[in-house]
Structure 1
Amino acid sequence: MTFLPRDVQLYAMAAGTTVLRCRSWNRLRFEIEYALERGTTANSYLIQGDRTALIDPPGESFNEVFLAALERHIDLYQLNYIILGHINPNRVETLKILLKRLPEVTVVCSNPAALALRDLLPDASPRLRVIRSGEDSLDLGQGHHLTFELIPTPRYPGGLSTFDPYSRVLYTDKFFGAHRCDESVFDLSWTDLLEDRRYYFDCLFAASTRQVQGALGRLAALSFQIIAPGHGPVVRYSPHELFQSYRDWSEAQTAQDLSVALIYASAYGNTATIAQALARGITKSGVAVEAINAEQASPDDIKEAVENSAGFLMGSPTLGGHAPTPMQTALGIVLSTASKAQPAGVFGSFGWSGEAIDLLESKLKDGGYSLAFEPIRVKFKPTDVTLKYCEEVGTDFAQGLKKAKRAKQPRTPASAVEQAVGRIVGALCIVTARQGEVSSAMLASWVSQASFTPPGFTVAVAKDRAIESLLYPGSSFVLNILAEGRHLGPMKHFLKPFAPGEDRFADLEIDVAENGAPILAEAIAYLECTVAQRMECGDHWLVYATVEAGRVLDGNAKTAIHHRRTGTHY
């Protein structure tokens, strides 16, 4: 991968208001919401009246370019307020520089963010202005009378939105963003951005729909015309469509009939990153997640989430050889609340030891609970491979819950419609893909040619397939077409259950295509493809791909065809 230099794009977006878009054209960090690898922007905003406020300075990655651009635009000593939509150790490094250079500046944030800042940056305490309710406001003069709404989530308990009624701009930090870097300051095309926004929501907010719906209810009362998020383009042309989409996506999660309680604490964000990857794997499988930040949640919240769940996961960092006190408290609540029939899981990050993970594992096992997977132990920060592994663990966990539910339900004979749908046949193929160190594959039978020019076809991919996250527009893969009479070996190999992170190609004879994806030696033909579009179709994604190259390996063989009795199964 070629790493491009980072830069800052400035634009006067509203009256007295400038956006500073710190741009990274490459993947910013190893967190699952960046996995589409389309770059990102870290957006900061300047509001200038009689006094000046800076909203959401970027993290440490952009320190140098951001501060240089800011000083070119204004005299730093004009800065009176720094407003924080959330706080984390990465953003603290930038804040530290600004506070050192501006001894009179006031930091405006929520109470949870203020508590975190007192630990991360004790010198900031005397300069904090804490927003405790929607009634607080800040008058910058010249019409810019800012109001605030608290928008906490388990991942970002200090979430704070800012509204400027004069310019009618709503600053939402993590809400309504997208990790995508380009030249467009504004959302020029709703459809072009929809996939990025949906993926961003699914990664960051699908496990926090209760809090998201509460935040949407508070923000709906504001007469905004522009949404200014922390990442991606400023939402000028489709703010109400995006707002409604968040409602629709949240309601789709709350409508699921199975849920998982995901309880964790995170000292430096690493355990939260693991939790987020697990949640992504669970929610993509059609099971809801109730994320619980043990450091912020009440005992009643934890108890209710566990009682309403079909299973639970617990994650903790190790601090000084121990689990943080909130996690020990949460563990006690779980042990006294959860049914022994509920499957469980343990995960966590650590620096030099992992005693907290050992504690969770031993206490749950001693309490008679069954762990659905080996505890996930991540030293320091998770890698791209680790995140993919965690996503697959989450998917397996969700599939286990769904399988257990189906086992309790009586079987009904296939209807006439289901039998008729089953008569639709398709070629048996193996889809293979590789991105960096991550590879995957699946057996596919719902494959059909879709276009002559360019040559293209569609393939249906179940949402809970591990390979699904490697098949977004712009991604490459290979379609390996199997031979009639020689398809049973590859079919059985790729139908067997793979453990999370297991090499799908072990013991197979393969070659490597120009796009990096594996070619199976047993294929009678292969196509090198690029995903052009995706369409959501119930429990599947319909992927339309164009063919870049291909070859027939055995011209005498016939394509294997898959016949079914009913349309309810592959």
Structure 2
Amino acid sequence: MNALARDVQIYPIAAGTTVLRCRSWNRLRFEIEYALERGTTANSYLIQGDRTALIDPPGESFNEMFLTALEQHINLYQVNFIVLGHINPNRAETLKILLQRLPDVTLVCSNPAALALKDLLPEASPRVRVIRSGEDQLDLGQGHCLQFVPIPTPRYPGGMATFDPYSNILYTDKFFGAHRCGENVFDLGWSDLLEDRRYYFDCLFASSVRQVTAALDRMEAFPFGVMAPGHGPVVQYSAKELFHSYRQWSQAQTSQDLSVALIYASAYGNTATLAQALARGITKSGVAVEAINAEQTDPADIKAAVEKSAGFLMGSPTLGGHMPTPMQTALGIVLASASKTQIAGVFGSFGWSGEAIDMLEGKLKDGGYSLGFESIRVKFKPTDVTLKFCEEVGTDFAQALKKAKRAKQPRTPASSVEQAVGRLVGSLSIVTARQGEVSSAMLASWVSQASFTPPGFTVAVAKDRAIETLMYPGNPFVLNILAEGKHLGPMKHFLKPFAPGEDRFAGIDTDTAENGAPILKDAIAYLECTVAERMECGDHWLVYATVQAGQVLDGEAKTAVHYRQTGTHY
């Protein structure tokens, strides 16, 4: 399959039920959860009884091929209902075409989605059926009597799941998905796509686990056997395991000692994408995030989240030179209830001006709050580099909160166990990686050979390292091994704190490996590697990599090793 190919895969998944999988093998990255670059599918579902319902048509990037495939599969006029698991500007473009071609179709959605449609697609409002309670049903005939439940999150306030008791399929929209393109319509078992699913959860849902837990409680009431998500394979063989994992991953977030209130509004999704990237950087560092969509959240909930947080971030678009009213209200709540000791941050996107960002920054500074980073201003859609920058800003923000907490705690001497663990030694190396326009590096000493055939080794990578997102299975990197007596320069350079987006290789003499990653000319040797597997180990990922190429650059030098006094830090 051509790496840039797109097509639509049509497959029956139950009696009277068909999935239309719009597939793209390229990255289609416009949000951070696509960063693994493994392609994606946008899944839509047809349920045909005496009447026909189309569930979740894809967004604008797929609409032409989707509509062609749909019309080839059925008579388009057979579609009586379009059920929306969520609504956004991208999907509204496809709906606009469908409404033009289907003058009698009815849109079925939650009340928040119906309100959003009034702004995005005003002509749709007369044709909307709003689901207002769990007792609302849609009888398609031949046993297909659809039931609905709201599953809102800050990112998707109009979220709604659909259950068909005839097939025992639960249509979960954004929940339980994965951005991986392939031939398999169904999952292959619990271990299949586990890493992709976990990454997808961490990016989309780790910052809204309170709402996720409530949604899980609602969906669990249905006796489903299969889950049909909006992205990735239909979950047939591991539905219960994946559902339980969402609970476990959510609980892991609620158990964190520190939390950040992330308050935002988003007109076209761009500010929400920035919030998502910031949240990813914070949560991967072991700090919880309470994402708050100011347009959908009660003021009392905003106040409660701010009061219990160690810091807060505020993001806003600029509409007509002004800050949206919900953000003005949220700002007033923050100024009245947040402690002056809390670290703050400001971000936002805009089209032609950024007055809302300036207003947020000015009001917070005038209120006596310290900003943890220079306000982030993004014009139109964020790029890959911008998303990586925001993730690194989030990581630095979380580390600043941790540092402030440690400063308040008395220091205790290392225990005998900690001192003993510190006697473990490893070779000093620099791990370098590049992915498109994004590159990164880190100093590593927890490195050990792990296999002869194929030649392979393990390296431990802290979860809050900037390079961590470039160290997933299939990703290339270079391990640069340092020489004894010549290691202090590279060691000091890569140990120093880098600002988000700062070039890690400025002033460093490098070549480029065949796999695209930088080679340090001062290294004793280098290995060109590919991540094969990785395992979660507390606050680190243990990465196993296989070696494809390498070279000794200085055959006379010895490998530098790192000696520590305690096992509690590097």
Q: 2:434: which partner in 1?
A: 434
| 2:454 match: secondary structure | coil
2: CA distance, partners of 1:271 / 1:405: 29
Q: 1:411: which partner in 2?
A: 411
1: CA distance, partners of 2:31 / 2:159: 19
TM-score, normalized by length of structure 1?
A: 0.99
Residues 143-181 of structure 1: CA deviation (Å, up to 9, x unaligned): 000000000000000000000001000000000000000
2: CA distance, partners of 1:238 / 1:191: 9
1: CA distance, partners of 2:189 / 2:531: 20
Residues 368-419 of structure 1: CA deviation (Å, up to 9, x unaligned): 1011100000000000000000000000000000111111111111111111
2: CA distance, partners of 1:8 / 1:138: 27
Q: 1:9: which partner in 2?
A: 9
| 1:566 match: secondary structure | coil
Q: 1:531: which partner in 2?
A: 531
Q: 1:162: which partner in 2?
A: 162
1: CA distance, partners of 2:404 / 2:90: 42
Q: 2:179: which partner in 1?
A: 179
Partner amino acid, structure 1, of 2:327: M
Partner amino acid, structure 2, of 1:171: Y
Q: 1:204: which partner in 2?
A: 204
| 1:314 match: secondary structure | strand
Q: 2:396: which partner in 1?
A: 396
Residues 176-196 of structure 1: CA deviation (Å, up to 9, x unaligned): 000000000000132131000
Deviation at 1:63, TM superposition (A): 1.0
Q: 2:541: which partner in 1?
A: 541
Q: 2:480: which partner in 1?
A: 480
Residues 25-73 of structure 1: CA deviation (Å, up to 9, x unaligned): 1111321000000000000000000000000000011111100110111
Contact 2:475–2:531, Cα closer than 8 Å, also in 1: yes
1:7-86 pair list within 5 angstroms: 7-86=7-86
| 1:190 match: secondary structure | coil
1: CA distance, partners of 2:89 / 2:132: 22
| 1:191 match: secondary structure | coil
2: CA distance, partners of 1:156 / 1:109: 13
Root-mean-square deviation (CA), in Å? Answer: 0.7
Q: 1:192: which partner in 2?
A: 192
2: CA distance, partners of 1:144 / 1:286: 44
Matching of residue 243 in structure 1 with residue 233 in structure 2: no
1:106-125 pair list within 5 angstroms: 106-125=106-125
Partner amino acid, structure 1, of 2:455: P
Q: 2:467: which partner in 1?
A: 467
Q: 1:286: which partner in 2?
A: 286
Partner amino acid, structure 2, of 1:549: A
1: CA distance, partners of 2:130 / 2:169: 21
Residues 347-386 of structure 1: CA deviation (Å, up to 9, x unaligned): 0000010000000000000111011100000000000000
2: CA distance, partners of 1:181 / 1:391: 25
| 1:356 match: secondary structure | helix
Q: 1:215: which partner in 2?
A: 215
Deviation at 1:134, TM superposition (A): 1.1
Residues 505-530 of structure 1: CA deviation (Å, up to 9, x unaligned): 00111111001111111101000000
2: CA distance, partners of 1:28 / 1:560: 42
Q: 1:364: which partner in 2?
A: 364
Contact 2:5–2:26, Cα closer than 8 Å, also in 1: no
TM-score, normalized by length of structure 2?
A: 0.99
| 1:565 match: secondary structure | coil
Partner amino acid, structure 1, of 2:310: A
Shift >3 Å, 4+ stretches: none
Q: 1:509: which partner in 2?
A: 509
| 2:187 match: secondary structure | coil
| 1:124 match: secondary structure | helix
2: CA distance, partners of 1:554 / 1:422: 29
2: CA distance, partners of 1:222 / 1:522: 61
Deviation at 1:135, TM superposition (A): 1.2
| 2:390 match: secondary structure | helix
Contact 2:532–2:544, Cα closer than 8 Å, also in 1: yes
Unaligned runs of 5+ in 2: none
Q: Which moved more, 1:554-563 or 1:21-30?
A: 21-30
2: CA distance, partners of 1:80 / 1:63: 19
Partner amino acid, structure 1, of 2:442: M
Q: 1:268: which partner in 2?
A: 268
Identity %: 84
| 1:43 match: secondary structure | strand
Contact 2:29–2:35, Cα closer than 8 Å, also in 1: no
Q: Which moved more, 1:512-521 or 1:274-283?
A: 512-521
Deviation at 1:3, TM superposition (A): 5.2
Q: 1:345: which partner in 2?
A: 345
Deviation at 1:15, TM superposition (A): 1.1
1: CA distance, partners of 2:194 / 2:20: 23
| 2:240 match: secondary structure | helix
| 2:300 match: secondary structure | helix
Q: 2:378: which partner in 1?
A: 378
2: CA distance, partners of 1:524 / 1:30: 40
Unaligned runs of 5+ in 1: none
Q: 2:556: which partner in 1?
A: 556
Aligned residues: 569
Q: 1:310: which partner in 2?
A: 310
1: CA distance, partners of 2:88 / 2:189: 32
Partner amino acid, structure 2, of 1:228: A
Deviation at 1:256, TM superposition (A): 0.3
1: CA distance, partners of 2:226 / 2:12: 13
Deviation at 1:303, TM superposition (A): 0.2
1: CA distance, partners of 2:352 / 2:321: 9
Matching of residue 458 in structure 1 with residue 489 in structure 2: no
Partner amino acid, structure 2, of 1:316: S
2: CA distance, partners of 1:132 / 1:341: 42
Residues 293-315 of structure 1: CA deviation (Å, up to 9, x unaligned): 00000100110010010000000
Residues 447-478 of structure 1: CA deviation (Å, up to 9, x unaligned): 00000000000000000000000000000000
2: CA distance, partners of 1:303 / 1:124: 35
Contact 2:29–2:37, Cα closer than 8 Å, also in 1: no
Partner amino acid, structure 1, of 2:72: R
